[in-house]
Amino acid sequence: MPKLTARKVETLKEPGFYGDGGGLYLKIGSANSRSWILRTVVQGRRRDLGLGSANLITLTEAREQAYKFRKIARKGGDPDTVRKRENFSFEEAAQKVYEQLLPTWRNDKHASSWIRSLEAYAFPQIGNRPLHSIKTSDVLVIISPIWVSKNETAKRLKQRISSIFDWAKGAGHYPHENPVNGLAKALPPVKKQAEHLAALDWRDLPGFVSELREREGISAKTLEFIILTGSRSGEARGAKWSEFDLEAGLWTVPAERMKRGVAHRVPLSSRAVEIVNQMKGLDPVFVFPSTQRGKDGKGKEQSVMVFKSLLRRMGHDEITVHGFRSTFRDWCSEFAKVDREVAEAALSHATGNAVERAYARSDLFDRRANLMKSWLEFIEEKVTEPLKLVIA
C-alpha cells in the first residue's frame, strides 16, 4: 500500500480510512472531519489511539507521534497513559492537591491564601506548562523575585509548590526529582527579623478598658472579653453557647478552633461571665454574632475588621487586637511575677520539649483561674502595687 503524501492528505475527500503504514491512518468522516488514528497492540489488546485533527497536525508530526506510541507499546507501556501524563499541567495538578487538602483545613482564610498565592505567583509563569517539563530553574523564576522582599510569602509558596510535585510524583505524573529540592543552594540566606505586633503597654490597659466600657456595641464587648481571657480574635468571634458553662465560670474552646489543635479550657473572671450574659438573646449559636446575617438568614461570626474600625474610632489605630495577648504576657512577667508555665498555659502556648509535654498532663486550670482573677483586679485598678502571684 503506497504511503500518504502531504498532497494526498490535503486533497482526499471521500469518507474512509487511508493507511500510511505502521498502523497510522487518516480518517475522513462525514462533513469532511479529518483525524489521525494509530492502530496498534497495547498490552496484548488491539487499540485505536486518536492522535488529533489532521487540520492541526501535519503528516510528519502524525508519523513522529505514531512512532513514539508504537515504541512505548512495544515496551509494554500504555501510550494513552503517557500522553495524559505529558498533557497534565501544573495548574491541574495544583487544583487536585488543593481539593484533597481542603477538607483538612480548619479555616477558610488559610484555604483561600493557599490557592491565591499560586494564582498570583506560580500560575502566570508555569500554570499551563506540562508538569513533566518543569525544572528547578522554572521554580526559581517564581521564587527568587520575592525571596528577600516577601520572604514569608516566598517560603510558604515554595512549600506549596513542593507539595504539588510530591503528589505528582506519587501519582505518576512527574518522573523526576522534586524540582524544589534544587533551590536550597540557589537562594540567598535571609536573616529573619523578629516581628512584634503593636501592643498597648500593660500600664495603660486600665485606662483603655475604662474607655472601652463606655461603648455599647458588640465589637466593644467582644474586645473586652478577648482582653479578659487572653484569647485570640478568632476564638472569641467564633465562640458558641455550647462551649460555655457559666455557672462553673468555664469556656471550653474545642480543638478544631484552636491554633494548636488542642482543646483549651479558659477560666472566666466575674466580668467575663457578665459580658457573656449580656450577649444572651442575640443569636442561638454565636455568643458574639455579627450585626449582619448570612445569606441563609442565620447568624454569623463578626469580621476580623470590626476591631480595626473600633480601635480607629477610639484613636488607637496604632495597636492590634492580637497585641493584647502581648500586653497580658508582659503584665504576667513584670507585674504579677507569675510562673512562666502558668502564663504560657493561659495563652494556650506549648512549653517545654516533647518529653516534658508528654508528662505535663495538667492544664494548670486552678492556677490560671486565680491568675485571671488578678488580671481583672489589675484592669479595674483594685490592685496598684506589683505583686508576686503565689498560687498553691
CATH number of the domain to which 175 belongs: 1.10.150.130
d(CA 128, CA 88): 9
Number of domains the chain contains: 3
- pLDDT of amino acid 262: 87
Residue 191 domain-assigned (yes or no): no
pLDDT band at 193 (very low <50, low <70, confident <90, very high): low
CATH number of the domain to which 325 belongs: 1.10.443.10
244-245 β-sheet, strand order: 244-245, 250-253, 264-267
Domain boundary among 155, 183, 211: 183
- pLDDT of amino acid 275: 96
Cell digits of residue 130:
506540562
Percent of the chain with pLDDT over 70: 90
Residues 75 and 97 both lie in one domain: no
Cell digits of residue 80:
494513552
Residue 331 domain-assigned (yes or no): yes
Residues 207 and 317 both lie in one domain: yes
Phi/psi at 36 (5° precision): -100, 135
Residues 282 and 323 both lie in one domain: yes
d(CA 168, CA 245): 48
Residues 35 and 144 both lie in one domain: no
Residue 195 domain-assigned (yes or no): no
3-34 tens-digit pLDDT: 889 898 888 888 999 998 888 999 998 777 88
245-299 tens-digit pLDDT: 999 999 999 999 888 888 999 999 999 999 999 999 999 999 999 988 888 888 8
Residues 212 and 356 both lie in one domain: yes
d(CA 154, CA 183): 12
Domain of residue 145 covers 90-183
Residue 226 domain-assigned (yes or no): yes
Residues 98 and 79 both lie in one domain: no
Residue 337 domain-assigned (yes or no): yes
Residues 143 and 227 both lie in one domain: no
318-358 tens-digit pLDDT: 888 999 999 999 999 999 888 888 999 999 886 544 434 44
d(CA 104, CA 110): 11
- pLDDT of amino acid 197: 54
Residues 106 and 250 both lie in one domain: no
238-258 tens-digit pLDDT: 999 999 999 999 999 999 988
Residue 366, C-beta contacts closer than 8 angstroms, at least 6 positions apart: 391
Mean pLDDT score of the chain: 86
User: Does residue 389 have a pLDDT over 90?
Assistant: no
Residue 68 domain-assigned (yes or no): yes
At 211, the amino acid letter reads: E
